[in-house]
Amino acid sequence: MKTKILLASLAVLMIAGAGCKKKSTTDNTVYNTASCKANGTLINFKTTSNFTKFCIMTGVCNNFQATYPVMVGVGFPADAAAGKTYTNHDPYVQIIYMDSQGRGFYSRSYDTINIHINTWGGSGGYTTGTFSGKVYYSSTIPPYTIDSVYITDGVFNSLIWFTLQK
């Protein structure tokens, strides 16, 4: 009899406990991350900064770091809007990539790059988007090598901090 009462009590406690879930008040979204494939190799990046207006005089940008010196940077106009795709024909649009040898690869104005803004929350909000394009390295010392990296499947999720001046 005592065993039946004990089992019944445990069953009641388990049922009562299952109905008492603590409501989460934290945002589980991880901001300031990016990833892309550089010549087919997937790289994941993080940053402690936000998209700001200070990187490109009147545009906004953010640099995302993997392991030093590997990083990728994305920049686009400060009047960005959700649902819009920016290309090399738009002002302040740029993708930069730093490889494991510390070589800086930059998008050029006459090559195709795409940065699509999925979400744009403005200053104090956050932005998500995608990016892709071909970036180039040109050495300025002999043997004057030219190299390129194809950036594909790029995505970012970052907080925004900047002030538009009127």
Position 22 scores a pLDDT of 40
Position 163 scores a pLDDT of 59
Report yes or no on 117 lying in a domain.
Answer: yes
Mean of pLDDT values over 149-158: 97
- What is the tens place of the pLDDT at every residue in 33-69? 999 999 999 999 999 888 887 655 568 889 999 999 9
Report yes or no on 21 lying in a domain.
Answer: no
Instruction: Tell me the residue type at 131.
Output: F
Report yes or no on 59 lying in a domain.
Answer: yes
Which range is least confidently modeled, 56-65, 101-110, 147-156?
Answer: 56-65
Report yes or no on 82 lying in a domain.
Answer: yes
What's this model's pTM, rounded to 2 decimal places? 0.77
- Its domain, for residue 101, covers 29-159
Report yes or no on 8 lying in a domain.
Answer: no
Report yes or no on 164 lying in a domain.
Answer: no
Average pLDDT, the chain: 80
74's tokens? 């994305």
The domain total for the chain is: 1
What is the rounded CA–CA span in Å between residue 67 and residue 64?
10
Report yes or no on 148 lying in a domain.
Answer: yes
- What is the tens place of the pLDDT at every residue in 117-139? 999 998 889 999 999 999 999 87
Of the candidates 64, 28, 32, the residue with the CA atom closest to the CA atom of residue 160: 32
Sign of torsion over alpha carbons 100, 103, 107, 112:
negative
Report yes or no on 78 lying in a domain.
Answer: yes
